[in-house]
Amino acid sequence: MTNQKWIGFGKGTKNKKGEYIEMYFSPDDISTSAAEIKEGYEKVEVSDDVPPSSVPEAYLKLHLLSLRLVKPNETNLDGIFGILHTVAWTSAGPIDSNELKEFLNEKRNKGEYVKVYSVDKFPCLTDYVALNDVRIADASRVRLGAYLGPGTTVMHEGSVNFNGGTLGEAMVEGRIAQGVIVGDKSDIGGGASTLGTLSGGNQVIISIGESCLLGANSGLGIPLGDRCTIESGLYVTGSSKVQVIENGKVKETVKAMELAHKSDLLFIRNSITGSIECRDNRNVNELNEDLHDNN
C-alpha cells in the first residue's frame, strides 16, 4: 500500500444534523495533484495508506475503487463501517435512516409515494459510477467500492462487495466478498462463495488467479493460482484435509492452506470415501466470449 494522495471535489447529502450521509464525485473532479477550489463543492483529500476519518473521505475512497483508480486492498479502509451512516436509499434520494419514519409520513400525507430500495451503509455502484464495459444484471447486488474489470459480467445471483472484485473478464454468478480479487477469465459459479475478512475470524485475503472455475455452490477459503477448479458443492477452507493424488495414488495428506497460490489444481470430493482430493487440472476454464461482449 502506497502513500499516494488523492483530491476530489464532491457534492453530497446532509441529514438534519448537518452531517454528510453520502457524497458523489465525478471522475473529472478526482486527481492526484493540487487543484483550484470549485465553488459549491466539498474539497476532500485522502491518502491510500491512511484510513478514512469522515463520510466524504470514505466515499472518495469507494469511488477510487469503482473507477479503477486503485485496486482492492490498495487503499486503507479500516474503520469504514463505523464512519458510514445507515442510509435509506429511496426513489426520492438518500435519507438518514433515523429520519426515514418522519420522511415517509410527510410524503404519504401529501399523497406522494416513495420507494425504499434498501437500508444499508453502502449504496449501489451504478448510482455513482457508470462503467460501459461491464454487465450487471441486478444492480442492487454490487456495492459502491466494488472493482469490476473490463468485460466482467455479474449475473442476477452474483454479488460483489466493496473492496473486492475482478481484474479482467470474469463471470460472476456467486459471491465475491470484501477483499477478494478474481483474475482474468475466471468464473465464479452460481451460488459459489468466497471467504472474506470482515467477520468469522478469517485473516487470509483470498485471491483467485486467471482461468479458474469455482463450481456451482462451491466455496473457497484459500488463495488460488492460475487454472484451478473447485468441484461443484465442495467448500475448501484453509484447514480442510486434502489428499494430494499423483499417478492415481495418494502422495500425501496436507491442509489446504499448504496448497495456497499454486496453479493447475483440481479439487474434488471422492464420492466413495468422502475425502477431498487434489489432482492436476487438465481442463482449463474458458469463458463464453459471447457472454462478455458488452457492446
Give yes or no: 173 in active site.
Answer: yes
Beta bridge partners of 24: 11
Among residues 173, 210, 246, 258, the one annotated as catalytic is 173
| 8 A C-beta contact, residue 182 and residue 160 | no
Compute the distance between CA of residue 169 and CA of residue 163 in angstroms, rounded to an integer.
Answer: 18
Q: Which residues pair with 20 in a beta bridge?
A: 14
CB 157 within 8 A of CB 123: no
> Which amino acid appears at position 6 of this protein?
W
What are the residue numbers of the active site? 173
